[in-house]
Chains A and B, each alone.
Chain A
Amino acid sequence: AQSVAQPEDQVNVAEGNPLTVKCTYSVSGNPYLFWYVQYPNRGLQFLLKYITGDNLVKGSYGFEAEFNKSQTSFHLKKPSALVSDSALYFCAVREGKLDDKIIFGKGTRLHILP
């Protein structure tokens, strides 16, 4: 069965610095990988996905993620953090076309310090 891990409950970054939110996954087949963001009192919002192709995926709000098959990771990155990036971030995985469900990580709270 597929699983996803977000090893950090919280990440603190100074505004203007690069940020990384970590995600590792486990699937038996080809992974479909996703990042979502949740702002307070809002639903989850899709940021980006990796299905196939280029390992570096670009998404909304200047975020990008790098798929690393050998390390089974899909870390979320942004070159320069904004205070408005402060939110809860979820990594999710789907086992290619074998399963309809997306498995979500427990989330990482990102704090951008002014």
Chain B
Amino acid sequence: DAGVIQSPRHEVTEMGQEVTLRCKPISGHDYLFWYRQTMMRGLELLIYFNNNVPIDDSGMPEDRFSAKMPNASFSTLKIQPSEPRDSAVYFCASSSTYYEQYFGPGTRLTVT
């Protein structure tokens, strides 16, 4: 298996623009997680899905952030409009019930 795939790996955008991050989980995994990592705040859970259904989005910073999982093999995290404070590395991870999570390589987002 190729592991969790994320795209793009790097994204540089201007403040106010829409940003879409993409994730393909490991086939057969029924959980998908979105995290954000910064030096100041460490690793933060934003939202997670079980069987394509959002279960807990309490970590989503504000309404500018939204996430979808239209099918078992694809998820998006969207920021609209983006702000400089959104600059971070965004990770997608997937897991099979109750077991360890497998992380993608991350998307490094820079908002100028």
Complexed CA–CA distance, A96 and B105 (Å): 27
Q: Which residues of A contact B105 (CB under 8 A)?
A: 42-43
Question: Main SS of the interface on chain B?
Answer: strand
Q: Give the size range of A's interface with the partner.
A: 10 to 19
Evaluate contact between A102 and B101: CB separation under 8 angstroms.
yes
Any B CB within 8 A of the CB of A107: yes
Interface flags, B8-26, vs A, CB<8A=1, else 0: 0000000000000000000
* Residue tally, chain B, CB below 8 Å to A: 20
Q: A44-52, A65-73, A77-85: which lies at the B interface?
A: A44-52
Residues of A within 8 A of B (CB): 32, 34, 36, 42-46, 49, 90, 94, 97, 100-102, 104, 106-107
With contacts A100-B48, A106-B43 known, what are 8 further pairs, Cβ within 8 A? Answer: A34-B100, A42-B105, A44-B93, A45-B103, A46-B100, A49-B99, A101-B48, A106-B42
